[in-house]
Structures are given as C-alpha cells and as structure tokens.
Amino acid sequence: MSKMFKKVLIANRGEIALRVMRACQEMGITPVTVYSDVDRTALHVQKSSESYSLGRAPAKDSYLNIGKILDVARHSKAEAIHPGYGFLSENAQFAEACDVAGVKFIGPTAAAMNRMGSKTQARQAMMLANVPCVPGSAHGVELAEATRLAEELGYPVMLKAAAGGGGKGMRLVRSPQELTSAFNAARSEADRSFSDTEIYLEKFIENPRHIEMQILADEHGQTVYLGERECSIQRRHQKVLEEAPSPIVGPEMRQRMGEIAVRASQTAGYTNAGTVEFLVDEVKNFYFLEMNTRLQVEHPVTELITGLDLVQLQIRIAAGEPLPFSQSEVQVRGHAIECRIYAEDPDNNFFPSPGQITLLDEPSGPGVRLDSGIYQGSTVPIDYDPLLSKLIGYGSHRQQSIMRLRRALQEYFIGGIKNNLSLFERILRDPEFLEGRVDTGFLDRLLSPPARLPITKAHSEIAAVAAGIFAAMDNQQTGTKNSGGHPDSRWKQAARVEGMQ
C-alpha cells in the first residue's frame, strides 16, 4: 500500500486554494500555501498552517513562477503540489519540473498533458481512436491554409489556440473578410496567454450544447466516468452556470458518452481527474472538443450528485492508491447547479470590477454550498481572474435545486464592488432555462438587445426613506463631532464627485 502525503503545497489562490486546503485538512494533511504581495491578507493565506511569499503581484512573477514555487516546495518539504485550475495546472513543463524535483504533481503526467493539453495533438489522437471530432484541421495552420480550409468547410468557422483554455485565443469568423484580423487577434492573444502561437481551425457548429464528462483514472489502469455536466451557459466562451446532470442526457446517452470519454482518456495514458468536453448538436450527436487536464472550476456539481470528493480522490490517486470504487458503484442522484460569481458589472458589459468588499452576507441553509475566497473587508486585486465564489444549489430534482438557488441568491449580498448576482436571478427565472432548453447562444439571447436587467423596481419610495434615514444618521454623527457646524456628509461628497464627472 502506498503512503499518504504529510504535506501538500497548493500552488494557487482564491476559492480553489481554499477548496484544496479543506480536502487536505479533512485528510490530516498539512496544507502549504503561497501568496503574492497583493494576496497577503487573502483568505487562503489566513486559513493555512504554513504560507510562503512569492513576491510581486504579476502572475508570471508569482503563481506562474515555476522556480519560486518549487523553492517553496523544497523549503516546506511538501511531498506533492496541487495546482488547482488556471495558472500552472495545465503546464506540462511544470509537471515535468515537479517530477525532476522529486515532488508529486497532483494531476496527469507531463506526457499525457502534452498529448491532451495541445488541442491539435488531442484531435489527432482522438481521430485515431475513433472518437467523433468536429470537422476541421488536425494540425496548426497558417493564415493561407486557414483561408483555404475555411472555404472548404464553409463559414462560419472557429479559430482556436492549440494551447487554449478559458476562451482565450479563440475567435469566431463569420465571413472571409473577418478572417485575417481574427487570425491575428487569436494568435496575439494565444501568444500573450500561453506563450504559444499555434492556431487551428474548426467548422463552427451553430448554437451547440456544451456538455462535458468527468473522468477519474488511477495509476493502476482503472478509469471511471462520473457523469456529465451541462455547461452551455457561457459568455464569450467563459462558463457562467453549470449543472449536473444535463437536462437532455439520459442513462443511455450518459453511458455512451462516458465510455467514449474513458476511451479518450485511456488513449492518452491519462491519470488523475480530467474532463472530456463535447459539443452536442440539436439531435444529440456529440463531438469531442478537448480534454481539460485538470480539476474543473465546476467540479462541485459532480461532487454533489455522486457524493464523491474529487479533490480527496485526486490526492489519493497521486499517492498511488487505486480507485476505491468501480464504475457500477457510481450513482447519479439529485441535481446540482453552480453559479460563478464574478466581480464584474452586468449593467456595463460585464466590465471587471475589482476593489474592496465593504459588505458581505453569505447564504446558507438546505442544499446550498458556497465555495468562496472572499470576506467582508477583503480586496479583489486587479491582477487575477475576477472569480469571487461559486454558489451551488443541490436538490433531489432540477426544480428544487433552482428554487434553492433562487432563495440563496436572495440571501447573498456583496457590497462595494459590482458583481453578477443579478444575472443569475435572471437566468434562473428564464422560461427557456426552466425548460432546460439551453445552448451556447442562450446567454447572448438573454442579454440582447437591452443590456439592462428588466427587474421590476417597486420600492423607490422605500429606498428614498432609507436614503433619508442614512443621511439623517450621518448628520447626527457628524453633528456631535463638529459641535453644531455644518455637517458635511459622505452623501454630499458623493454627490459632488458625481457632479464632477
């Protein structure tokens, strides 16, 4: 039997650092965290037992800096590193460097990552293994070949970074005129985000569903699938809301998809947790899209419907343990939906909104899980992804999980920065969503053309009374301090600032 780690280094920040830390603590493992200058007061640092500075805020100097992170591993004597998602999680060089340094990387091997991490290599491998793929190039292309191929497949087409992820380095091209600028834009974004300029091209499937299959593979040749997640609700190729199971996938389709996902993983010699993404068309044909060689942001919905702890299982697999269950023991029960709460302004084209959180009320109660990286008084830095937390609703069926989320959203308040809570109030009341009729065009339809949320505002008078009472209280306070002088409230200051714009 293998030996469990005593110490695990978490090379990440925000809610996912906390998520991994919790798994470690529950397993009796000492978690070691790292932080950049702007994260000194972050929750993941406060809650850890050991934490190391990485220095300056920019990701390349901190959470993306392989040398610094391995130094911390050495100093802290951590036996393994959990990369979370984003940052170094899909970086094969990092996995390789961990291997060389004698630290276990909690994830697939560098070789498997290379096979799957490059979308072009993954497509080639999948085509060989008879996994259905979206028509397009199997290799990276230059502009000339892209032009020719786009003509052949017919517009619209999709340009994608081979090293891509999170919607970066991706462009939809609807006509030949747009191709050159889209190609250059995709390439420069890919270069900036992944230091890799390889771009490939696929036929664009209009408004497909985006459904993915979670797999787990141990290091003894056993691979299982843990059911699908419906991730069609996206904005600019970034997932916003995910649910499990998918409203359109029944047991038979789940099994077919799951078996193909297992085959795809095994073809790549994949180990640990991974996700096989599929595009699904109107008649439920599905095509391999890519494999995400990491823990996904949306893993909690799978945890809730299977009753498994994916992060603990990742750690066990990395420690060399065999999977503690077989495929036939995996049961899907109930329904879970996750809302990704971002610091961005839904009334202003989802522009990021960093800053200090001045007020925070968090939801709780039956069927509510909140994986959060914030607290009242914490500051959302401008340097990283604006994900604040994930609010997950669980119920015995879809309707119940929706109602629980709606209730939880009423309890949730984040003040001081803009956030997208109101977007979920809208999605969770939308008739198409309620019927489970979602595809990747859903959110664009919901948000266009009027970008303003048509929430009925029935309480202007109440707001007026409240505003007056706050002002009166301010006056009372300043009045006592200034012994009768003209109270200069923050209201007036605020009004003045506004007047200057």
Partner 1 sequence: MLYYVSIDGRDYQLELSENQGRWSCRLHGRDLAVDVAVVGRNVLSLIIERQAYDIRRELTATNVQIWVGNEHYSAEVRDPRSLRSRRTRSAASDGAKKLVAAMPGKVVRLLVLENAEIDAGEGVLVMEAMKMQNELKSPKKGKVKKIFVSEGSAVNTGDVLVIVE
Contacts with partner 1, residue ranges (CB under 8 A): 189, 348-349, 351-355, 358-359, 382-386, 409-410, 413, 415-416, 421-422, 425, 455, 457-473, 475-476, 489-492, 494-495, 497-499, 501
| Residue 472 CB, nearest approach to partner 1 (Å) | 5
Q: Using the minimum distance from each CB to partner 1, give the nearer residue, 325 or 491.
A: 491
Q: Other CB atoms closer than 10 Å to residue 49's CB: what's the count?
A: 12
- At 327, list the tokens: 């495929």
- Min dist. Cβ of residue 277 to partner 1 (A): 21
Measured in degrees and rounded to the nearest 5, phi and psi for residue 345 equal -100, 105
Which of residues 133 and 343 has its CB atom nearest to partner 1 in the complex? 343
Closest approach of partner 1 to the CB of residue 466, in Å = 5
Q: Taking the complex as a whole, how short is the minimal distance between the CB of residue 463 and partner 1, in angstroms?
A: 4
Q: How far is the CB of 255 from partner 1 (least distance, A)?
A: 38
SS3 labels along 423-477: HHHHHCCCHHHHCCCCCCCHHHHHHCCCCCCCCCCCCHHHHHHHHHHHHHHHHHH
Residue 332 CA to residue 305 CA, distance in Å, equals 5
Whole-angstrom distance, CA of residue 55 vs CA of residue 71: 13
Residues 6+ apart with CB under 8 A from 256: none
Pick the closer one to partner 1 by CB: 47 or 426.
426
Please give the span between the terminal C-alpha atoms of the chain, in angstroms, as a whole number: 67
- Taking the C-alpha atoms of residue 400 and residue 337, their distance in angstroms, rounded to an integer, is 10
Residue 246 or 353 with smaller CB distance to partner 1: 353
Yes or no: say if 425 and 405 are a contact pair by the CB < 8 Å rule. Answer: no
Residue written as token pair 């462009």 = 171
Check residue 62 and report its DSSP letter.
T
Nearer to partner 1, 127 or 473 (CB): 473
Sheet holding 80-82, edge to edge: 50-55, 30-36, 7-10, 80-82, 104-105
> What is the DSSP track for 290-339?
EEE-S--TTHHHHHHHH---HHHHHHHHHTTPPPSS-GGG----SEEEEE
The tokens for 487 are 């109270």
List the beta bridge partners of residue 51: 33
Question: Where would I find the beta strands (DSSP E) of 60-180?
Answer: 80-82, 104-105, 157-165, 168-173
* Phi-psi domain of 87 (left: phi exceeds 0; alpha: psi -120 through 50; beta: other): left
Nearer to partner 1, 177 or 326 (CB): 177
Q: Which is nearer to partner 1, 79 or 383 (CB)?
A: 383
Q: Which is nearer to partner 1, 91 or 314 (CB)?
A: 91
Alpha-carbon gap, residue 253 to 247, rounded angstroms: 12
Which of 13, 235, 294, 316 is labelled catalytic? 294
Q: Peptide bond preceding 449: is omega within 30 degrees of 0, i.e. cis? A: yes
Q: How far is the CB of 181 from partner 1 (least distance, A)?
A: 11
CB of 473 to partner 1, least distance (A): 8
Q: How far is the CB of 355 from partner 1 (least distance, A)?
A: 8
Task: Reply yes or no on whether 294 is catalytic.
Answer: yes
Which residues are part of the catalytic machinery? 294
